[in-house]
Structure 1
Amino acid sequence: MNKKEMNNNDKQLLIFDFDGTLIDSVPDLADATNAMLTTLGKETYSIDTIRNWIGNGSRLLVERALVGDIAVPEDAQTQAEADHAEQIFFEAYTKIGGSKTVAYPDVDSGLRKLHTAGYTLALVTNKPIRFVPKILESFGWQDLFSEVMGGDSLPVKKPDPAPLLHVCATLNVSVAQSVMIGDSRNDILAGQNANMDTLGLSYGYNYGQDIRELNPTEAFDSFADLVAWIMKDNA
């Protein structure tokens, strides 16, 4: 579907990404990553470097940190080494507890406006599900989302379309009535792979690539603009 062809009146379900779309969790993720690396006696990295490694779930973040690059060779480390490092990362992230994680501007009011307008909201993130409820509760969002999926809720995660299709099936909403909203290629590709309309946000974590290059149905530079566009036919 080409841009600006989405009929907002036909949409019922809004599926949101989490990190980079609703919340900026990079400071906490970077702290946990560097704590892991310090424990392992390895070099630590700047927050700007680690920012470009985020978005594919915790395992790939850990593997990228271990080699210091976004591209991880297949033989970079053994399964046992990666498992051990990931466990250290989880422990560090749990201790940090989201202390530096913040909502992006206008996200709180925007989500509540969409919810009040009658849209069904869902969350599909590549973050391990164990960390999601506490963060949602910290912002008071736990009652806004009808379905929440983590990166390990199914055997596959975004950009695979399975989590999005699972949400549609669970909530009994068709793909045609649904929209995937996110900041990265994983979000846009997941939506496209599900034959679902996609809305991109340019301010999040997308490995330095302009979200518009992925041809979402529409793209926005702020959450407020996104909400206004979705709501424009409901005014």
Structure 2
Amino acid sequence: MSLARPRALVFDWDNTLVDSWGTIHAALNTMFARMGHEPWTLDETQLKVRKSLRDAFPAMFGDRWEEARDLYLQAFEALHIERLSPLPDAEVLVQAIVARGHYLALVSNKTGRLLRDEVAALGWGHYFAKVIGAGDAVRDKPDRAPVDLALDGSGIAAGPAVWFVGDTGIDMACALNAGCVPILVHGPEGGLLRDEEFADATPARHFRDCMALAREISQ
């Protein structure tokens, strides 16, 4: 499928540009143990973790959700920098975008402070015009609010000139809610049409890895 070239690209962070599943899984199970909940398998974590803490935890923990949030953040913060690892060719991808002169921003459901700590730890802050995490906008993904905040001041409105790049259905839903072009990187093998996560939020294009998307951007 041919797409018009973007003026701006807005990226998800976790498991789109950096490998975070192991750290998220360890922090969740540390918190679950403290809360008296059964641990999740890694497969369960990868399947269930999509929303921000403020959107997901009230349904999971009721009136104890803020306690669960604080325990999770404490466990995550103890691990995330030392385990931080870019996905293969992720920096090649963001460098290619910057070299083409495209506006580049991040929108993540990771708590904003922790997201910015990770970007700084990799020395990647100069690549991104805006780094927007959970809690920074009035609502989190899949709402369009963080996308609008990420584009604020760029002179580029959310719409078909903006590609939203992520690895999950909630990223694709966020793109569609903002009127942007949904671009899936990584994602399921074996065909999207058989993956119900994308049934109502189908990507416009699917790239198998960061390098495949970097080649598309560089053309």
TM-score, length-normalised on structure 2? 0.87
Aligned residue pairs total: 213
Which residue does 2:109 correspond to in 1?
Answer: 126
The residue identity in structure 2 corresponding to 1:181 is V
Equivalent residue for 2:176, pick from 185, 192, 203: 192
SS across alignment from 1:126:
strand
Matched, 1:201 2:185: yes
Which residue does 1:19 correspond to in 2?
Answer: 14
Per-residue CA shift, 1:180-225, capped at 9, x if unaligned? 1111111111111222112111338x9x937765322211111111
Deviation at 1:14, TM superposition (A): 0.7
Is the contact made by 1:25 and 1:98 (CA closer than 8 Å) also made in structure 2?
Answer: no
Which segments of 5 or more consecutive residues in structure 1 lack a partner in the other structure?
64-71
Is the contact made by 2:138 and 2:145 (CA closer than 8 Å) also made in structure 1?
Answer: no
Is the contact made by 1:22 and 1:103 (CA closer than 8 Å) also made in structure 2?
Answer: yes
Rate the CA distance shift 1:197–1:32 in 2: closer, same or farther, 3 A.
Answer: same
SS across alignment from 1:200:
strand
Is the contact made by 1:37 and 1:44 (CA closer than 8 Å) also made in structure 2?
Answer: yes
Deviation at 1:62, TM superposition (A): 4.7
The residue identity in structure 2 corresponding to 1:29 is I
- 2:56, 2:28 → 1: CA distance? 8
The residue identity in structure 2 corresponding to 1:173 is I
Is the contact made by 2:110 and 2:134 (CA closer than 8 Å) also made in structure 1?
Answer: yes
Over aligned residues, Cα RMSD in angstroms?
A: 2.3
Is the contact made by 2:105 and 2:151 (CA closer than 8 Å) also made in structure 1?
Answer: no
- 1:226, 1:168 → 2: CA distance? 21
The answer to which structure, 1 or 2, has the higher relative contact order (CA under 8 A, 6+ apart) is: 1
Deviation at 1:27, TM superposition (A): 0.7
Which residue does 1:216 correspond to in 2?
Answer: 203
Which segments of 5 or more consecutive residues in structure 2 lack a partner in the other structure?
none
Q: Which structure: larger Rg?
A: 1
Matched, 1:33 2:28: yes
SS across alignment from 1:154:
coil
Which residue does 1:69 correspond to in 2?
Answer: none
The residue identity in structure 2 corresponding to 1:36 is M
- 1:34, 1:6 → 2: CA distance? 41
Within-5 A mapping of 1:1-235: 4-8=1-5, 11-59=6-54, 62=57, 77-79=61-63, 81-174=64-157, 175-203=159-187, 209=195, 213=199, 214-232=201-219
- 1:190, 1:45 → 2: CA distance? 26
Is the contact made by 1:28 and 1:98 (CA closer than 8 Å) also made in structure 2?
Answer: no
**Percent identity over the alignment?**
22
Deviation at 1:26, TM superposition (A): 1.0
Rate the CA distance shift 1:121–1:210 in 2: closer, same or farther, 3 A.
Answer: farther
SS across alignment from 1:181:
strand
Per-residue CA shift, 1:18-54, capped at 9, x if unaligned? 1121111111111111111222333222222212222
